[in-house]
Amino acid sequence: MKLLERLGSGLLIVLFLVVTLLPIVWCFVISISPESEMLKATASFLPESPTLQNYVSLLSGTGPFQGKLITGMTNTLKAVLLTEAFTLPICIMSAYALANISFRGRTTMTMALLITTVIPVFATIITIYKIYSQYELLNNYIALTLVYVTAYSPVIIWMLLNHFRDFPKEIEEAAQIDGCSRMQSFFRIVLPNSTPILLAAALILFLNTWGAYQIPLILASGRATKPLTMVMQEFSTKDNIYYGMIGAAGILALIPPGLTAIFFRKYLVSGLTGGAVKG
Amino acid sequence: MHRNKKAAFFLLLPIGILMILLVFYPILVTFYNSLHEMNLIRLSEMRFVGWDNYVNVLKDRGFQDAIVNTLVILIAVTGITLTASMLEALMLQRDHKISKVLTAIAIIPWALPPMVNGIIWRFVFYPGYGLINKILYNLKWIDAPVLWASDRWTTLLIAAIIVAWRIVPFCAIVLLSNLQSIDQELYEAARVDGANKWEIFRSVTLPLLLPSMGIVMTNITIAGFNAFDELVALMGYREMGQTIMMYNYTQTFSFLNFGLGSAISYIIMLGSGVFAYFYIRQLGRSQR
């Protein structure tokens, strides 16, 4: 009975590893295969002569798609940095106010924020597209970032709000008795003691922005402003689909979020169980 | 107190302005547009048509198909995710030497861009000699490659697998943290009473997992309902097997028919309002 149980749990682990990792490994195999050799009619799993040609041509901006991948990656990084810079301060301010200051309409505001998380993107984006095209804000990264801010803030605010509310009031009050203003006690006591949750928030923002597709598809689809997720869609032309290139681009796009998730899993898990949701 | 209110006002001003400009105002305008015939190419010819757009959408065969497709994905994602995340949570809970490594691996699919997930799985289910076909071929189960994702139902099933692959880690982690909070003495007591493993799981573990089921189910619903990136990666913008989100996108932006597109958005929003109600209630409960 004990043996059977250990066997069962061992099988479960193997199954888990295969389902989770094999698809990614396969994508890597495709990416190091000479163009489309892997998908040709052969039963073998590995290419005869592995090559890094796809990576070289993507990263050096040569080959059929020139600098597309580098441009896409730069755009995605730009969006990530801007989103972090805008969203974090705004969310910290709002969450602190909603958690610690009592005023009329506080619950209504919190609920209104939360309800926006379940509104489908298209209910707002069609109109935003029209407004942006009127004011020539399409393909403008600041304008795009503001939409990200409204899309990601509610969940981040909710996460921080729960944290600030549970932060022991006594400590803050003690600091204020010692002559700190409310602002000083926030910056010197509350904020330094909130680094894990702030890190979790920053990580979730990074993952969301890095993977965003629908919003930039509509608001930033210009040749020079496409993010990485859109560029990957383009390695197929009328005559040819460059599977190796698509695979290589996929691997390049999954390394940053993948490594981030592995290294910072502790913070992500605590953020997740603290009520955060990634798109 | 008065000063506090002022502080709250200024602290909430930025998010308030952004939300009003980019969420609440657009939603109202979208409703206004949905009552008009309105093409982006001929904006000057906008005219009021009442509920015509709504009637046209509801009567459209493509819309009805898209609704069915979305529901099929939703059901399949729910089934796969609940089973897989429960197994994964139970696996992570056992104290293996490699538990830490397993958790690290488990979180990867959740962190990846949905578009990349779609691409990865497209290679797995490639209709020629993709991974699955190679495996089946080497096992001598098939003689010729199976044409995956070439008909409506297998496309939907594969889409559901891809979506589930992405959200299982989240659900498993939520379930795991719930499992770890269950008092060990309850298991002891059940064991003393002579319950076997399955009975313990059914009458102790499952009922005590109910609190996190709400969060898990809302996430499954939101992910299944909004399935878009993965499907685009898998099959492009073709009509067969498209979900309501893809239907909404193609109707709006291929034909630039914004009145109709807005009506579709509103129908979807009202439909998801039911889920939204339970979602907010769930969050409200977890606040207490």
Give the one of A41, A229, A265 whose C-beta lies nearest to B129's C-beta.
Answer: A41
In the prediction, which pLDDT does B288 show? 42
A119 inside 8 A of chain B by CB = yes
- Measure CA A77 to chain center: 11
pLDDT reported for residue A27: 94
Q: Is B256 on the interface with A (CB under 8 A)?
A: no
Number of helices (H) and strands (E), helices first, in chain B? 15, 2
Task: Provide the pLDDT for residue A4.
Answer: 82
**DSSP sequence for B42-79:** EEEEEEE-TTHHHHHHHH-HHHHHHHHHHHHHHHHHHH
Q: Is the pLDDT of residue A276 over 70?
A: no
* Short-list B74, B76, B165, B156, CA closest to B112: B165
Show the tokens assigned to B112: 């990846």
pLDDT of residue A279: 43
Query: What pLDDT score does A252 carry?
Result: 94
**How high is the pLDDT of residue B241?**
85
Of A19, A40, A102, the CB nearest to B129: A40
Coil, strand or helix at B200: helix
| Contact (CB<8Å) B18/A278 | no
Count helices and strands in chain A by DSSP H and E runs: 13, 0
In chain B, whose CA is at the least distance from the CA of A120? B269
B165 at interface of A, judged by CB pairs closer than 8 A: yes
| Burial class of residue A105 (count of CB atoms within 10 Å of its CB; 0-12, 13-18, 19+) | exposed
Q: Looking at this protein, which amino acid is placed at residue A257?
A: P
User: CA nearest B20 in A: which residue?
Assistant: A150
pLDDT digits (tens, 9 = 90+) for B40-88: 777 777 888 889 999 999 999 999 999 999 999 999 999 999 999 999 9
pLDDT at B28: 95
pLDDT for residue B156: 93
pLDDT at site A273: 75
- A57 to chain B, minimum CA–CA distance in Å? 20
- Give the phi and the psi of residue B257 in degrees, each rounded to 5: -90, 85
| DSSP summary character for residue B125 | T
CA closest to A93 among chain B residues: B11
Q: How large a percentage of chain A has pLDDT more than 90?
A: 50
Q: What is the pLDDT of residues A112-166, one digit of tens each?
A: 998 888 888 889 999 999 999 989 999 999 999 999 999 999 999 998 998 898 8
Residue segments in chain B with a per-residue pLDDT below the cut of 50: 287-288
Q: Give the pLDDT score at B247.
A: 93
Mutate to test the interface with B, among A103, A122, A213, A228 (most CBs of B within 10 A): A122
In B, minimum Cα distance to A246 occurs at: B119
Give the pLDDT confidence score for residue B284 in this predicted structure.
63
Residue B145: how many other CB atoms lie within 10 Å = 18
Residues 6+ apart with CB under 8 A from A154: A113, A114, A116, A117
The model scores a pTM over 0.80: yes
DSSP state at residue B195: -
**Interface-testing mutation among B1, B5, B9, B11, with chain A (most A C-beta atoms within 10 A):** B11
pLDDT of residue B282: 66
- Nearest CA-CA distance, residue B224 and chain A, Å: 11
Residue A275, pLDDT > 70, answer no
CB-closest option in B5, B229, B275 to A118: B275
**pLDDT attached to residue A36:** 62
Find residues 207-236 of chain A whose CB sits inside 8 Å of chain B.
207, 210-214, 217-218, 228-229, 232-233
Residues 6+ apart with CB under 8 A from B24: none
Give tens-digit pLDDT for A37-65: 767 767 778 887 888 888 988 888 777 77
Q: Which two tokens stand for residue A79?
A: 């969006």
Handedness of CA A62, A65, A66, A72 (dihedral sign): negative
Q: Which of A33, A42, A118 to mutate to test binding with chain B, by most B CBs within 10 Å of its CB?
A: A118
Mean pLDDT of chain A: 88
